[in-house]
Amino acid sequence: MIGIFDSGVGGMTVARAIEQRCPGYPLVYFGDIARTPYGSKSSETIKKYSASNTDFLLEHRAKLIVIACNSAASAALPTLQKQYKVPILDVITPAVKRAAIISKNGRIGIIGTRATIKSGIYEQGINQERPGTRVISHPCPLLVPLVEEGWLGKQETKMIVRRYLHPLRTRQIDTLVLGCTHYPLLKHLIGPRIGRRVQLIDSSIEAARSVRSFLDTHPDLASQLHDPEKESRFFVSDLTETAHQLAAKIFGRPITLKKANA
Amino acid sequence: MIGIFDSGVGGMTVARAIEQRCPGYPLVYFGDIARTPYGSKSSETIKKYSASNTDFLLEHRAKLIVIACNSAASAALPTLQKQYKVPILDVITPAVKRAAIISKNGRIGIIGTRATIKSGIYEQGINQERPGTRVISHPCPLLVPLVEEGWLGKQETKMIVRRYLHPLRTRQIDTLVLGCTHYPLLKHLIGPRIGRRVQLIDSSIEAARSVRSFLDTHPDLASQLHDPEKESRFFVSDLTETAHQLAAKIFGRPITLKKANA
């Protein structure tokens, strides 16, 4: 199985993107709803939770791990890669590479949770890929609760999106990274408010592309993981109504969520 | 010590109210920021966390426990009272009694988190105190993240408060219970939007009154707990910047937060 974990249901946008780009590869998903959100927690706490989520996925026979949560990836990727032998991919690295390639004027905006932005990981990554790039980042802590409430089209959400994007609008960016797996669900609000000339990078789609490319370049592991008969499984550490609704919205079909502790 | 726990920093409104009404009684506070918010979690998960928080306070020599979190009180009060020998007070019972007494027309509104409202505990409590009362409740899940971001006066917060109160405005309530310890920080927005004729009941203040009255009626325990030399202590399961800011705002002075695991 391809193992995927997130702090909640946002990472399902990554699972969905992987499903579309890697058909025939069953997934095992773990969403840590009981301890969500990670974005406002300290790096030390996020590391501890990420390790227990990884253990859970390994017990469910994952042979490739995807960290589908920007906050977890920013705090815990190097630690997990040292700690475990299985390959561990994440949502940040592919988005960083893509942003560094497609920006024309070298001015890139990043939005994410407080934890992701504070870590500075996008800034460092982009400047390693393409030195001299100007990275302008801004935390948007209320977008996750707004998405989790399903307020995807409400006037208040539009105003909050506009307020958060305001400091980025005057900085001549030509590329904006959606550095949180919840944000693809707000693309329809973010696009018009940041301006048509700004290209959006969806970290969920980039993560799925990197999984596809990893499978293509590791045929032995790919053939072990390929099993079109097997169904994907979705676990969450807490069962809530909004989780069911959001999962169905993301996948466009009902998703069975099972409760489990990491 | 008087032990107080909450899912985060909202319960500090209770701690502050107790400090003002019970001077000379040192407090030990535990805010479970690492696992906040409780309001969107299942009852089973909230019970588990509440028990570990109580254990923590008992280890720090608490001899009286106050559940300063409506979500925790609604899910876990009877379970904790069975499980532990120390007296356990909460934020809901006193607010229920007060609402049942002061309402003139017998139509009472309740706002709170999803978990608190779903539990139906205010409705049951009020109808036990005063049968035949019409209780109209409405969940306001975004108010906690808005308060935790410090957005206490922003236009978006005003609009969201108005949207949440709208279903209550047409129902002729004369009393509104603020069924979440974060909401006192939004009183200045809630009051004008629900209408001047509606009396607000602040569950934090009612909880502090009930602690005062418990001490007055239990002089042996009160004299054990009274120790004007001893300073109150504040523990949180995760240290964040916003926690420091909010704590200082609530107490009107800087508060030293120490990190601890429950």
Q: Is B69 a residue of the active site?
A: yes
Domain borders along chain B are 2-90+205-259, 93-203
Is the Cβ–Cβ distance between B237 and B49 less than 8 Å?
no
Among candidate residues B22, B62, B69, B211, the one labeled active-site is B69
Strands (E), B47-162: 64-67, 88-90, 107-112, 134-139
- HSE-CB for B234 with a 13 A CA cutoff: 22
Which is catalytic among the residues B72, B180, B205, B225? Answer: B180
The pLDDT tens digits for A205-226 are: 999 999 999 999 999 999 999 9
Does ipTM come in above 0.90? Answer: no
* Domain A93-203 in the same topology as domain A2-90+205-259: yes
Cα gap B111→A87, rounded to integer Å: 47
With CB atoms and an 8 Å threshold, state whether B142 touches A145: yes
- pLDDT of residue B53 exceeding 90, the answer is yes
Instruction: Using the predicted structure, report yes or no on whether residue B36 has a pLDDT greater than 90.
Output: no
Instruction: Specify the amino acid at residue A7.
Output: S
C-alpha distances (whole Å) from A77 to each of A45, A83, A101, A116, B43 are 14, 10, 22, 12, 32
Q: Which of A28, A73, A147, A180 is catalytic?
A: A180
B27 vs B239, residue with greater confidence: B27
Of B146, B163, B240, the CB nearest to A40: B240
B89: helix, strand or coil: strand
What residues of chain A lie within 8 A of the CB of B258, using their CB?
none
Q: What is the pLDDT of residues B154-172, one digit of tens each?
A: 999 999 999 999 999 999 9
pLDDT reported for residue B128: 97
What is the CATH topology of the domain spanning A2-90+205-259?
Rossmann fold (3.40.50)
Give the C-alpha distances (Å, rounded to integers) separating B149 from A64, A130, B109, B159: 36, 34, 26, 16
Place of tokens 């994410």: A112
Which of A147, A156, A189, A238 to substitute to test the interface with B, most B CBs within 10 Å?
Answer: A156
Residue of B nearest to A157 (CA): B156
What is the CATH class of A93-203?
alpha beta
Structure tokens at B209: 């009154």
pLDDT digits (tens, 9 = 90+) for A114-154: 889 989 999 999 999 999 999 999 999 999 999 988 899 99
